[in-house]
Amino acid sequence: GVMEKLGLGPEVLLQENPRLIYARLTGFGQTGKYAKSAGHDINYLALSGVLSKLGRKDENPYAPVNLLADFAGGGVMCAMGIVTALYERTKSGKGQIIDASMVKGVAYLSSFLWKSQNLGLWNRPRGENLLDSGAPFYETYKTSDGKFMAVGAIEPQFYGQLIKGLGLDSDKLPNQLSFSDWPKMKKKFASIFAQKTQAEWCSIFDSTDACVTPVLSFDDVASHQHNKQRSSFIKNDQEEISPRPAPLLSRTPAVPSFKRDPFIGEHTEEILLEYGFTKEEITKLYSDKVIEFSNPKANL
């Protein structure tokens, strides 16, 4: 209801411009019991059902920071909705309103979990399944220098290379998919990974298809050889590192800015002036707390 209070709701603006795409991105959506309630990523994730699947055996569910509901189920799904509406407009010539709920967005994002329930991937309690830390071959392991390796050797041929790299004899091990042996195998793998440094394990597995990779910290990720070769991270003029825009388009790749991130409100004045607002109108918007400034050069 914030935009309605400003007289800028979709009903008003779509009358002015019937081609307008009006996106409403909220946690719980525009309707329903919680529509006007406050919430955060963890709440939206909980209501979607996804949170119940995240966590180790015998532990509480955990939220993976705020990436899933806020950014994936929210921002990315909303952006996809906008692109879809823009494409539809090329045929109809009409705009529309997008109700982008983070709860529904992250629930839809989890369609794989729903559709694969009968495949045997998720029929055990949380933390005991193939992809949720139950399997010894889909797990992270600590190295002797306190770092970690990520293991994702699901397919038999990849699992075989994992076993070989760990120096084990597959003939003396239980079947890869013997669920009852998974806890014992995890302990065995953990004890072996703890005997070498991350760099040593990389030298063993880097040239293989064992699906074993280092868990890189933010301090290390930009200097890793693969990421350097891909130019996956960039430095701005303040020497701050951030990911390069993705995905990479062949004809029209994104051109990243190497300037520091703007402060909230830093360009408010110049943009409004550019759009024809007078300084008096901008001052009124500021005094009414409709806009804010973080630019010390603002001279209203």
Instruction: Note the pLDDT of residue 119.
Output: 87
Active-site residue 132, yes or no?
A: no
Active-site residue 40, yes or no?
A: yes
CA dihedral sign, ordered 108, 54, 51, 81: negative
Give the residues across from 235 on adjacent strands: 241
Domains of the chain: 2-119 (3.40.50.10540), 138-215 (3.30.1540.10), 260-299 (no CATH)
Instruction: Note the pLDDT of residue 22.
Output: 98
Q: What is the full per-residue pLDDT of the chain (300 aa) written as tens digits?
A: 789 998 999 999 999 999 999 999 999 999 999 999 999 999 999 999 999 999 999 999 999 999 999 999 999 999 999 999 999 999 999 999 999 999 999 999 999 999 998 887 888 999 999 999 999 999 999 999 999 999 999 999 999 999 999 999 999 999 999 999 999 999 999 999 999 999 999 999 999 999 999 999 999 999 999 999 999 999 999 999 999 999 999 999 999 999 998 888 999 999 999 999 999 999 999 999 889 888 655 455
Catalytic position from the list 40, 145, 209, 226: 40
Catalytic position from the list 41, 58, 70, 237: 70
